[in-house]
Amino acid sequence: MRVRGLFFYMLVASLATMCRAQDAGGREMKKDEWQQQMTTYTSQRNDLNARMQAVNRQVDSLQGLSTRLDDDYKKCLDALYALVGSNANEADAFRKDIDDAESNASELSRLSDADLMSRSADVDSLGSRVKRLMDNRLAVIPEFHDRLAGLDEKVRGMQNTLGGQAKIYTVGTWARNRDCLWNISKKRDIYNNAWMWPRIWQGNRDQVKDPDVIHQGQKLKIPKAGPLTADEKRAASRYYGKKS
């Protein structure tokens, strides 16, 4: 309809110009010249109208085809969902669950190794969630299967990173073991360096809020040995600053 209106506007404008009965040089046109131009513009108008009608028919045809294809696609999906004993509503909810899990995985995968260490519980939780999603009957459908395979690969990658970064130390008592982050860090089988204690703290921020307070039975992740990172140094500086 907009195309038709535009053509009509152009035609009216052209006719209005012709009604001045002057040629391009300003010379007054004779009647037969004017009639000849009117015949030419009328023919052009009719040709444009015919083309516009043909385009409109093509658009209508394509819209009809698109509607039929959409309907066929929906029927195919409904039949596919029915094969696994599900339906479109359950599939939509399942799709949203995968969207959320993918968002969670993307957030965790952007973390540094030290930050990932402090979020190891979240990695484990995501792993369990992905396993539950993969056990869902809808997981065999290609759309979901491929996405879940990618998610599982991401989680395994993060778990491998954590596995290569840490071992576990179970906190004993102060009376018997003199366990604190400082003393744990200087153990020969840990870092053999008491000044590395901020690494243990930062690697366990999910369970150690105050580095002066740890509890018997806590299982502390011991990140891989190496120089303190910038974040670990800043954390230590803040701690010493509060103490002073």
pLDDT of residue 106: 95
Domain that holds residue 57: 2-81
Q: Among 81, 99, 126, where does a domain finish? A: 81
Query: What's the pLDDT at 27?
Result: 62
Domain boundary among 28, 50, 81: 81
Residue 24, SS3 per DSSP: coil
8 lies in the same domain as 69? yes
Calculate mean pLDDT across residues 151-165.
Answer: 87
Do 6 and 72 share a domain, yes or no?
Answer: yes
Same domain, 139 and 195: no
User: Is 47 a residue whose pLDDT tops 90?
Assistant: no
**Hey, is 141 helix, strand or coil?**
coil
The domain tally of the chain equals 3
Name the range with the highest mean pLDDT among 76-90, 122-136, 230-244: 122-136
Burial letters 135-154, b for 16+ CB under 10 A, else e: ebebbebeebeebbeebbeb
Same domain assignment for residues 200 and 227: yes
92 and 49 within one domain = no
The answer to whether residue 70 scores a pLDDT higher than 50 is yes
Which of 44, 64, 81 corresponds to the end of one domain?
81
Ranges 22-31, 155-164, 194-203, 216-225, most confident: 194-203
| 27, 65: one domain | yes
SS3 state at 168 = strand
Q: How confident is the model at residue 214 (pLDDT cuts 50, 70, 90)?
A: very high
Q: 5 pLDDT exceeds 70?
A: no
218 neighbors 121 (Cβ within 8 angstroms): no
| Same-domain check for residues 61 and 102 | no
Mean pLDDT for the chain?
85
